[in-house]
Amino acid sequence: MGNPAMLDAAERHEQQPTLQQELQQYRQALLTSLMTSAVMVEARDPYTGGHLWRVARFSMTLAEHAGLDALESTRIGIAGFLHDIGKIAIPDAVLRKPGKLTDDEFAVIKTHPDVGASMLAGHPLAALVEPAVLWHHEMPNGRGYPQQLRGDAIPLDARIVGICDAFDAMTSTRPYRAGMPIEKALEIIEQQLGEQFDATLGRLFIDLGRAGAWQHIVGHSDDGIPLGVCPACGPTLVRTQHTVDGETVTCPACFAQLQWQHEDNPSAPNNQQSRSWRAVPTGQRALFAVAQPDPQLIEQLVTRWLRFSQ
Ligand SMILES: [Fe+2]
């Protein structure tokens, strides 16, 4: 018989996390909190619902098809999620302005990559996302911002995220215009190969798009889930896998309160979802709308990154 007190101590020792596990937990918490902070940007601009989710998805997929390994592709997906973090500092009058910006207003918008990089400076994981944050608006022809870098002087992350960001902007609906069809946006990228967009990565993005890779991302806010439609503003409502029947949602553009209804759709073909979701106005208006972080996407990316970075 061993000494019970000594056995307890041995058991306690076994249950304690190793230094390696503690480090992993610390890195997980840091990355999760960094990604959650990106949602503040989505809360500021009513028409960016699901933008971060889509840019992360496009960026990770494009990186994988460009031959990058799982760790690098995941990191670039994370960078896609965080690329616009600097927009938090852009005043509402500019960020939420419908229609064309004046030169002065555009000069304000152009500060967001530098602001984002400054915000991240000193964060222990800043290096993961900094190139995309700072250089996602650079163009191979040297006419981008903030530093007018040319060609391959633009880091790979930024060239990938730049294409995905522009494509999502073109295919998303705004108050003053409907989103473009996928093919039209791909044609615009094609015309700008080597000018606004990296020629090789842009060509790959177009080929993937024509093979149908983007259909389940464009206009969606989670895997297999299209954005919900506010009757007054269009597709502004973010729904996720966790949304339940009867849950309310506020349109981030007009603040109308709507209720999700999950209803039978007898006309749907057998191989498609036979029930569909609709957002029905309750007649109430909210004082504010809250952008929710997408816990599933954040968890997926953080878990993948931790697994492959060991
Ligand atoms: Fe941006």
CATH of the domain at 77: 1.10.3210.10
Determine the distance separating the centroid of ligand 1 and the alpha carbon of 276, expressed in angstroms: 33
The pLDDT of residue 5 = 59
Same domain, 121 and 158: yes
Q: How many structural domains are present in the chain?
A: 2
Nearest to 89 by CA among 63, 60, 68, 118: 118
Same domain, 251 and 304: no
The pLDDT of residue 19 = 84
Residue 1: pLDDT above 70? no
Provide the total of helices (H) and of strands (E) in the chain, helices listed first: 13, 7
Same domain, 114 and 248: no
Determine the distance separating the centroid of ligand 1 and the alpha carbon of 246, expressed in angstroms: 35
**Rounded distance, CA 233 to CA 227, Å?**
12
Give the largest Cα separation in the chain, rounded: 83
Same domain, 159 and 43: yes
Strand partners, 154: none
Decide if 1 is inside a domain: no
Determine the distance separating the centroid of ligand 1 and the alpha carbon of 310, expressed in angstroms: 31
Determine the distance separating the centroid of ligand 1 and the alpha carbon of 35, expressed in angstroms: 16
Same domain, 45 and 127: yes
The pLDDT of residue 123 = 93
The pLDDT of residue 55 = 94
Over residues 284-289, the mean pLDDT reads: 82
Nearest to 275 by CA among 243, 308, 235: 243
pTM as predicted: 0.85
Determine the distance separating the centroid of ligand 1 and the alpha carbon of 163, expressed in angstroms: 11
Give the pLDDT confidence of 136-185 residue by residue, as tens digits: 999 999 999 999 999 999 999 999 999 999 999 999 887 667 889 999 99
The pLDDT of residue 83 = 95
The tokens for 27 are 């890195």
Over residues 15-44, the mean pLDDT reads: 84
- Structural domain containing residue 277: 225-285
Same domain, 193 and 130: yes
46-55, 165-174, 250-259: the lowest-pLDDT one? 46-55
